[in-house]
Amino acid sequence: MSAAESSVSGARPGGLLRRHRDFRLLWGGEVAGKFGAAVTGVVMPLAAVSLMDASTFAVSLLSAATWLPWLVVGLPVGAWVDRLPRRPIMLASATVSLGLFLSIPLTHRAGLLTFGWLLAVSLLAGVAAVFFQTAYTVFLPSILDPEDLQEGNAALHGSASAAMIAGQGGGGLVVQLMGAVNGLLINAATFAVSLICLLGIRHRERPAAKEPRTPGALAREVGQGLVLVARDPWFRALTLYSAASNVALMGYQSIVVVFLVKDIQLASGVVGALIAVSNAGGIIGALISRKVADRIGTARALLVFGLWQPMLALLIPLTFAGPGLLFYAVGGFCVSAAVVAENVIKSGFQQRYCPPELLGRLSASSYFLSYGALPLGALLGGVLGTTLGVRPAIWLLTAGVPLAGLILLASPVRGRRDLPVAPPAGADRCDLGTSLNGTG
């Protein structure tokens, strides 16, 4: 009996959150972390703008620093995660993040806070996030049965979206009540909650198979993950699509606070509330992803959420004060719904299609390319916003969101009803998996 089966018996009555204690704790820790990250995403730029009069480009650097570690350490982390127990990695990452965000109000009270320290915290917290996200991606399927993965991913993505809405909506209010710097205490508290939840998980992973560690072994394992993405047409298409989409998404999101505060002349509380309303689409995306995929097929649903629905992102640069805020709310709502829905579908596909012993490497390699595009997008947003103006930059970047979906049209996704659940027998993908395991 598997670890997941030991937590669940009979006909699986009720929802996954009700019947599976370890998943419930993992869910609680993840939701708390997303809430804190959402608060930080609003509070950190507001702190930089209000306390240090940071420029548009400087604000974009904060977003870039958060995601830059995926380009620097993302690949080796995947190989390390495949070698080590994942829960201790997540515990260590949450502890480091707790200390980092706690340091900001402490240095501010000591009169030592600088923009350089905000940048350093963003960078180091980003490194911790690389370890946490990669380990979490591999840990989740170890506690769930395969038939529960889609429900588990939908619950996590949907609840995380709800937490982000609450965090972003409350971010502006937190600034008004506590001040921009003290507002980061909220994020520190959420990492403490994550630690408590992770410590309560009873499931213990089976020790990874011991492999001889020869010189260059780490580099070979890193290369295996990249080859896995490059050779498999499904992994390759989805990773390239994610990278292109993330450049556009982070490009406009990195300067949207500047756009709403300086161009539209909105107060901090209104900015947080507007961003929260637009991100409410994430909850809807999580709720409808399974229903749409069941009705029209997972591959077709991916095209709907990756290409057609994101076209409404072009409403965002039409935003103006007063009733024109509806443009931002509707455009952002539809983009958020599409992003979360396609993430639910992609996560379930990857966790079922990839051999478990290679999932850490595969996740790190795909994250390296897709998340590694985020700092590039943030820098692009800063450069375009500085040289062209914020609104023209947002026009260009939001147009890139649906254009990224063209990659899916040129991939095996087009013409298929469903994404595969396993590589076809005798395909190169199976031969690759065999050779990576050292048995062929």
Query: Residue 2 gets which letter from DSSP?
Result: -
Which residues are CB-neighbours of 393 under 8 A, at least 6 positions away? 251, 252, 255, 381, 384, 385
What pLDDT is attached to residue 432?
43
Q: Which two tokens stand for residue 143?
A: 């506690």
What pLDDT is attached to residue 211?
54
H/E stretch holding 291: helix 281-296
Dist CA 436 CA 123 (whole Å)? 33
By the 8 A CB rule, do 203 and 86 touch?
Answer: no
What pLDDT is attached to residue 424?
60
* Domains located in the chain, CATH noted: 19-202+219-436 (1.20.1250.20)
What pLDDT is attached to residue 328?
93
What pLDDT is attached to residue 216?
63
Best CA proximity match to 310, nearest among 281, 335, 292, 273: 335
Residue spans of the chain under pLDDT 50: 1-14, 426-440
Query: Residue 209 gets which letter from DSSP?
Result: P
Helix axes 390-404, 373-388, angle to 10 degrees: 140
Q: Which two tokens stand for residue 316?
A: 């965002």
Which residues are CB-neighbours of 112 under 8 A, at least 6 positions away? none
What pLDDT is attached to residue 202?
86
